[in-house]
Structure 1
Amino acid sequence: MRWIRAAGRGLLVAMIVLTGYTASGTPGAGTAQGAARDGGRGPMTLATAGDLTGYLGPLLEGWNRAHPGERVTLVELPDSADETRAQMTTGLRSGHGRFDILNIDVAWTGEFAAARWIAPLERDRFALDSFLPPVTDTATYDGRLYAVPYVTNAGMLYYRKDILDREGEQPPRTWADLERQARTIAPRYGLGGYAGQFLPYEGLTVNATEAVYSAGGTILGDDGRVTVDSAAARIGIGFLARGVRDGWIPGEALTYMEEESRQAFQDGRLLFLRNWPYAYAGASGPGSKVAGKFGAVPLPGPGGTGTSVLGGSNLAVSARARHPESAKDLIAYLTSAPVQRKVLTDGALPPVRAALYQDPELVRAYPYLPALRASVLAAAPRPKSPRYQQVSLAVQAVVHDAMAQQQDPAAAVHRLARELSAITPRG
């Protein structure tokens, strides 16, 4: 998922997608023969959506200097996740073999694997044991590894530390704490209580899924079966709907995406905000009214730490890659410890290597790393489905109706189960 939309388009989502060239000859013909002749090694193309920090080019130059016969060419696609996905899927469906490597949103792995657009990978070829454990699950489908985690992400709770300190309060650990503080403390300071990304788009799917997961529920089972019609889902969606009804989630938050919610917090209009780690930099920067006055902790849940949804992107090898062996080596390079450190320091993107989150030098430079590590370790992937886009659209529509008080949460959950059963092939 696109996880960064930084202030002034500074830090953008870390979703790198790869496309670029059209193979010569008949589409798809000769790919296996060519790979056999050259050992699966040779030049590749990598395209990126919105690499606004400019970090990726230098990383690839390091590879190119060391591998002159296996050079990788960087091509940028549109910044929009929807446009990027549309261009990728159009090319993949055409079967023209235009892709070598795909750096896909973590939510797309199941769809791409089920469509056989990406090839299974050998687990022992990559340092998966060095990654934060939950992130590897985003790269699997039907029990097989189809990609390698490259960038991770998890939601965190931003809070006004100055105000809670003045009130003698700790940041909320449970939903009850969050609701009480948002309902009673925020009004005393003229603030909205709590906001997330509640406009009907992928951000609302993430927020709703986090609420359901935190309450102990699921939306789809591992086998694709619809599991959302549960008491836990009714509790999770009910928590969000109650916040709007009772006013501690301001009605304006129903129009927020990442940037609108970040700006509201940064402008000093919110006591609490759920957002991705990128918001830390903007809220700490010049012009922020809360710089030096806020903190970040893992999301709360009903009885303690909640469950965030994993964001980020995974690197996969196209099923029609010209040079699959080179592609796998490039993935190993991009997920190696030295390069992952640069992903954080030069690209401002959360790495997948676990050790980096406990590096004293990095923690001093990025104070949110311990909270982000805890959030990732408690996180889970979005529902896995070959029809994820339709699943997400259904979740958005139903949950928005519940939060807008247009449908009772229990009825909304039952409706969502019906709609998902009509969408999912195993529903």
Structure 2
Amino acid sequence: MRWTHAAGRGLLVLLIVLTGYVAFGAQAQESGGTRGRGPLTLATAGDLTGYLGPLLQGWNRTHPGERITLVELPDSADETHAQMVTDLRGDGRRRFDVLNIDVNWTSEFAAAGWIRPLERERFPLGSFLPPVVDTATYDGRLYAVPYVTNAGLLLYRRDVLDKEGLAPPRTWAELERYAETVAPRYGLDGYAGQFLPYEGLTVNAAEAVYSAGGTILGDEGARVTVDSAAAREGIGFLARGVREGWIPREALTYKEEESKQAFRDGRLLFLRNWPYAYAVASAEGSPVAGRIGAVPLPGPEGPGTSVLGGSNLAVGAHARHPDTAARLIAYLTSERVQRQVLTRGALPPVRADLYEDPSLIARFPYLPTLRESVLAAAPRPRSPHYDQVSLAVQAVVHDAMTGRQTPAAAVRRLAHELDAIAGR
């Protein structure tokens, strides 16, 4: 009996020790310590250039116990957003640990509690272009890390303008005049952007409003500022283009890929798009390779304002291995990998020094122009209800461009709808 009591006491001590060990392990994993390491999934919109898989293979070779599985979602921003939100707020097992999110989703995801705050000192934020860091914060805290940046550029047929003895347009008036008079002489359409009612139209509309000196929202979405002469001028610029024909009606069906293809095929004189479209149109085999240029977007009186694009890397609130997630993000934002993001993916890096590298400028001549555009860019309207804001902008601006509403009526309607979203 004495042996049995001793054995019982020993078993009890062992159970206490083991329970404490398990609890410590769970706490370490939750806090992101060494026990927070292991395999993860990385969710991203469709990889149009196929560069990301090889980058992750480099990580997987050197981190066999922390392998990353890439989950590619649709290349449409709206569809990717919907699938990410469904996963993040689901009641069952979440599939996505690290998310490559559009810069404008950071506020929404952080406000909803879907992504976790990050420790600033773990990431090289001081090496990034200054405007991009702001896209990764919400309520004064870092909730993501900039991965790629972007700014809209005006691509143009340099050969055509050279024949006409014209410099690329710096103002809307010049753009309109060349699109209306020069383009037809060469069998080209004048100007296009991304005008299908989806996220791309929100971007194009915001750029037009910003370039005219206006804004859409203020105070993290709490204040509606769109009802202004500048907004009427910006939306009027887009609507006038369709009405007068220097924006082809076909462009009302364009997303990034369709508009890029139209320019690459030699059907457009001017195109607003992201820098990847320049890289694709300049590649070997492109009908317009060697005949194109890129400048900042024009505005009413001079250079306009691009929307700050790109994506941020965020860690899901229920990520299985948060320490691995943070280390993966540090890897993907390292100088070596950021260089490959540009050279393999034709995506603009967030590291400032790469924009001044002579070897990269020789290969990507638009880099100085892109740097100028990024530094002068503005974010899309920030709001915890951004998805609703974007849908409202898309619907209203599309109605103005198709002639269903005048620009003035469209702006009044948009202000009313945004007031309702803001809860005013």
- Normalization by structure 2: what TM-score? 0.87
Please name the residue that 1:175 is paired with.
172
Please name the residue that 1:304 is paired with.
302
Whole-Å Cα distance in 2 between the matches of residues 253 and 44 of structure 1?
40
Q: Summarize the alignment of residues 24-423 of structure 1 with structure 2, pairs less than 5 Å apart.
A: 32=27, 34-35=29-30, 38-51=34-47, 53-95=49-91, 96-224=93-221, 225-423=223-421
Q: CA deviation at 1:146?
A: 0.9
Identity %: 78
User: What is the root-mean-square deviation in Å for CA atoms of aligned residues?
Assistant: 2.1
Q: Which runs of 5+ in 2 are unaligned?
A: 1-24
Which structure has the greater CA radius of gyration?
Answer: 2
CA-to-aligned-CA distance 1:248-306 (integer Å, 9 cap, x gap): 22222222222222222223222211111121133223553322221111111122221
Q: CA deviation at 1:132?
A: 1.4
For the 8 Å contact 2:275–2:346, the answer to whether it is kept is no
Q: Find the residue that maps to 1:314 and give its secondary structure.
A: strand
CA change 1:125–1:210 in 2 (3 A) is same
Residue 401 of structure 1 aligns with an amino acid whose one-letter code is D
For the 8 Å contact 2:29–2:322, the answer to whether it is kept is no
Q: Which runs of 5+ in 1 are unaligned?
A: 1-29
Q: CA deviation at 1:52?
A: 5.0
Whole-Å Cα distance in 2 between the matches of residues 160 and 84 of structure 1?
33
CA-to-aligned-CA distance 1:210-245 (integer Å, 9 cap, x gap): 001111111111331111111111111111112222
Whole-Å Cα distance in 1 between the matches of residues 29 and 140 of structure 2?
30
Residue 241 of structure 2 aligns with an amino acid whose one-letter code is G
CA change 1:249–1:87 in 2 (3 A) is closer
Structure with greater helix percent: 2
Q: Find the residue that maps to 1:94 and give its secondary structure.
A: coil
For the 8 Å contact 2:154–2:270, the answer to whether it is kept is yes
Whole-Å Cα distance in 1 between the matches of residues 53 and 251 of structure 2?
37
Q: CA deviation at 1:31?
A: 6.1
For the 8 Å contact 1:40–1:326, the answer to whether it is kept is yes
Q: CA deviation at 1:358?
A: 1.4
CA-to-aligned-CA distance 1:159-215 (integer Å, 9 cap, x gap): 111121122211011112212222232233332221111121111111001001111
Residue 263 of structure 1 aligns with an amino acid whose one-letter code is Q
Structure 1, 298-307 or 47-56: larger mean CA deviation? 47-56
CA change 1:394–1:47 in 2 (3 A) is closer
For the 8 Å contact 1:31–1:322, the answer to whether it is kept is no
CA change 1:386–1:286 in 2 (3 A) is same
CA change 1:48–1:171 in 2 (3 A) is same
Equivalent pairs counted in the alignment come to 397
For the 8 Å contact 1:57–1:74, the answer to whether it is kept is yes
